[in-house]
Structure 1
Amino acid sequence: MDLSDEILLIIFEELDNVEMLNSLMGTNTRLDRVLRHPIFTSHLTLMKSSSNGLSHPLDDIMVDRFCSQILPQIHHNIKWLNLESLSMERVLLASDYPNLFGLGLYEINYDAALRHFSGIDIERLNVSIPTNFSSSTLVELHRNVARFGDCLYLLDGRFNQLRSFYVRICIISSHLIYPSSITDNKKELVNLKCFSLISNCGTSDYDELILLLLHRISNLEKLTLYVLLDRYTSFIDGNHFQQDIINQLPRLNKFLFNIYSFINITDLLYQPTNEDIQSTFKNFNDCKISSAVDYFPKEGNSLCHIYSHPYRLKHYHHITNNFPGGLFNYVEDISLFDERPFEHEFFIRLTKVFPLLKKLRVSNEEPQNYKNCQNSNNDNRYSSIIEYPHLTDLSLTFVHEDYVEQFLLDTKACLLNNITLQVGYECLQRVTHNFTNNATRVNCAKLTCLLISQCWRYPKLCDTYFPHVKNVFG
């Protein structure tokens, strides 16, 4: 209590505001005054989120306390509320919110939304409800949808003042559009200034669907485009962006992208190098752009990955030996694939590039070339051990056994406790010398969950070798 109000506010801003309000509001007059500050009470998330992405209500006692005691004291400060369906009605009826301009609604059904928000002016909405919902005042919308057609429905005029639209789409396919259900999918979207489209599933309908939609947004100023594309003859590159996007959108001043182009090698008109791809961005002077081009003869496939900086996603997939590097302070989930081996030095590089790495999937059936050279100098034995300070989920299913050694040998890797490992039983058995190898015993003792293909076919794992494994799944 000897601290000034300013210092207390700085401390409170670093903590969970909902927990702090619940714990401290009503303790004494001075703390109440600091806790009611607009900086601390403008944005409230009155729900809990689980690791699988689902939303859950707060405890009833906590919701009752907010509705009866806390919200009436801070209602005029609240500008944004994140709510879930079970407690939404109680919170909204607890007080008036004269300065509220944004709502995040989770696990809510259409009837509930229509009952509470019909006729209400809402400027910003982050909501997961069916598409038959309209507003003449909504200016910002965040949505997750199943199909590209759902995106078109939302842009058919029902939100005629919409200026910013952020959409994540599961499937982008012309076969799932259902044109008869769309009111107007050709009209220009003159009010839309900011558009973000993210999809983690591949599509071959980029030109027919995504480009045609972009060309309707004639006054677009900011574009974010993160997609995986199955292409036919050529990769997406700077020339394509210039001709088909930038030249078509004269007001565009900020363009963020993360594009994967996959093409069958035999269908390529020619095989550009990474330098060729980089040269197509010579006129993009406002941002740094990275690229990686790979050819996989055994698979008969090719890949070109291009992205702008800064990279804000939490995942980075399809990493190969041609990975351009950098520093990715947000990425927690990565996957590796190549038809050339990943050597020990490559994994050293990964831990430096991805300091927050939590989930790693490796797919590579080529043996390492230099695995026996690592510890030839005894003086450097410990300096070559790679630490993975945040890794909790490791998948080594489709790999040569060298990569199982790469992570289980204590001369190569230092793992956290509580690791989930996905691996083939026979490969695990060989690397651990039928669960007797002392060099892999330390890291195996750190495993808490094993996902083993067809483990029911094999003898029971040695309990003493995996003392902390609680679950084994086949």
Structure 2
Amino acid sequence: MFTNRLTLLHCVPIRLIKLTSLSINYFFPLPDLILNRFCLHILPEIHQKVKWLDLEQLSMERILCTTYYPNLSGIGLYNIDIERAINIFSGKIFDFNPFTDKYSIAIYHIAFIELSSLIFNNKGKLSNLRSFTLFCDNTTDGYYQLILPLLHRMSNLEELDLSLLVWTDNTFIDGNNLKFNIIHHMPLLKRFTFNIHSSTHFYNQDNLPSNEYIQETLKNFENKQIISSIDYFHENKYSGMFNSVRRVSLFDERSFEHEFFLRITQSFPFMEKLILINNKRQNNKQFRKSKNINQDLSIIEYPYLIELDLSKAQKDYYEQFLFDIKTCLPNNIRVNMDYRLVKKVTRNFRRPTTRMGLVEGNLNEKEKQLFMKK
């Protein structure tokens, strides 16, 4: 019996650390032998029956160009650059749109949505798009400049599903924001599912929005099954232990010192993902370097850490996490880093005080995913 949905990719779920509930999925193209068979023999025979394709970026173009899919109504794209994904349906990659009528797009496991992206230079409407799903794994600062303009091109959308980690300037993404910036632009929208974590830095700490205020902005939504929570963390005032926290994002315009990370591990002992955004050099590092007193540092351990994102951090924080005299990371941890900074800090992977088993992942030169192996 033929199924009208084809998944032409290889998914490898990896539980990186024992005793943790999370695993990470890696998506790869099918082996060449199998992919060749599909493209040369199978797809040309069944192309009229195919209604949905699940693809990854390396083999996507070949599969879509192999034949014409007259009944294709949806596509799932995994581990793909969002610019590349949207350009497929804007005539930027192919000379044709793979869809002839109403269609759906689901984009999963996007690593980054950054302000450097150019996708929104295209203002064309995606008028036939009826369902859109966007899952981004890491924090984006492009909510207003990138994501909203993209959604505004989907004026006839009927179903929308967003899972985002958003960094904004001095505001949270609340119900009023969703209604004004998204829902009012989609008159045909029937279902809106969202899981949005927004973070910001409040310079004026008077009249900070409360969780009750956030709930009030959501009260007019038709589906009342909406949960919101809000937490404020004041600099140098971390106290207590948050045993249920698994994901931590850190941002500041002042440097994070070694002692600060020690407090973080004490406050969030079961942390599994850490995102660090800071372009300021560590002050105490420079003092210790001039006095040659590195030996007084306590080595910080992250026993449950699965993912570490330093892609938007200054070089000092690469040393903070890669130097054995400062930090002890678990084996097989997934990291997002600037590959050039990694090579510089590790002296092209030859520095004896750094974790040496870095294996390059399948990403571009700017943002390579690396793996720690003992």
TM-score category, normalised to shorter length: 0.5 to 0.7
CA distance 1:122–1:102, change in 2 (3 Å) = farther
CA distance 1:271–1:156, change in 2 (3 Å) = same
| Residue from 130, 134, 148 that aligns with 1:193 | 130
CA distance 1:86–1:226, change in 2 (3 Å) = same
Do 1:239 and 1:280's aligned partners in 2 also have CA atoms closer than 8 Å?
yes
| Residue from 56, 59, 66 that aligns with 1:108 | 59
Aligned-residue offset at 1:285: 3.7
Query: What are the Cα deviations for residues 57-112 of structure 1, in whole angstroms up to 9, with x where unaligned?
Result: 49x8xxxxxxxxxxxxxxxxxxxxxxx52432455179556633334455426456
Q: Which residue does 2:164 correspond to in 1? A: 227
Q: Which residue does 2:35 correspond to in 1? A: 85
Q: Which residue does 1:153 correspond to in 2? A: 87
SS of equivalent residue, structure 1 residue 174: coil
SS of equivalent residue, structure 1 residue 292: coil
Aligned-residue offset at 1:163: 2.2
Aligned-residue offset at 1:299: 6.8
Q: Which residue does 2:291 correspond to in 1? A: none
Counterpart-to-counterpart distance in 2, 1:191 and 1:202? 29
Q: Structure 1-normalised TM-score? A: 0.45
Structure 2 counterparts to residues 357-436 of structure 1, below 5 A: 361=272, 398=300
| Residue from 71, 90, 114 that aligns with 1:123 | 71
Do 1:48 and 1:55's aligned partners in 2 also have CA atoms closer than 8 Å?
yes
Aligned-residue offset at 1:50: 3.4
CA distance 1:218–1:322, change in 2 (3 Å) = same
Counterpart-to-counterpart distance in 2, 1:150 and 1:300? 43
| Residue from 114, 117, 129 that aligns with 1:173 | 114
Aligned-residue offset at 1:148: 4.2
Query: What are the Cα deviations for residues 198-247 of structure 1, in whole angstroms up to 9, with x where unaligned?
Result: 22232222112221222222221111111222211210001111222222
CA distance 1:246–1:190, change in 2 (3 Å) = same
CA distance 1:178–1:196, change in 2 (3 Å) = closer
Structure 2 counterparts to residues 163-312 of structure 1, below 5 A: 163-168=103-108, 169-177=110-118, 185-266=122-203, 270-298=207-235
| Residue from 5, 8, 12 that aligns with 1:50 | 12
SS of equivalent residue, structure 2 residue 163: strand
SS of equivalent residue, structure 2 residue 151: helix
CA distance 1:229–1:196, change in 2 (3 Å) = same
Q: Aligned pair 1:335/2:247, yes or no? A: yes
Do 2:103 and 2:128's aligned partners in 1 also have CA atoms closer than 8 Å?
yes
Aligned-residue offset at 1:146: 5.1
Do 1:227 and 1:258's aligned partners in 2 also have CA atoms closer than 8 Å?
yes
Do 1:49 and 1:56's aligned partners in 2 also have CA atoms closer than 8 Å?
no
User: Which amino acid in the other structure matches residue 209 of structure 2?
Assistant: P
User: Which amino acid in the other structure matches residue 157 of structure 2?
Assistant: L
Counterpart-to-counterpart distance in 1, 2:89 and 2:218? 31
Q: Structure 2-normalised TM-score? A: 0.55
Aligned-residue offset at 1:55: 4.2
Structure 2 residues without counterparts, runs of 5 or longer: 14-25, 250-262, 275-298, 305-321, 334-351, 354-371
Aligned length: 265
Task: State the identity %.
Answer: 25
Q: CA RMSD in A?
A: 4.6
Counterpart-to-counterpart distance in 2, 1:96 and 1:343? 52
CA distance 1:189–1:243, change in 2 (3 Å) = same
Q: Which residue does 1:136 correspond to in 2? A: none
Counterpart-to-counterpart distance in 2, 1:320 and 1:258? 21
Do 1:229 and 1:260's aligned partners in 2 also have CA atoms closer than 8 Å?
yes
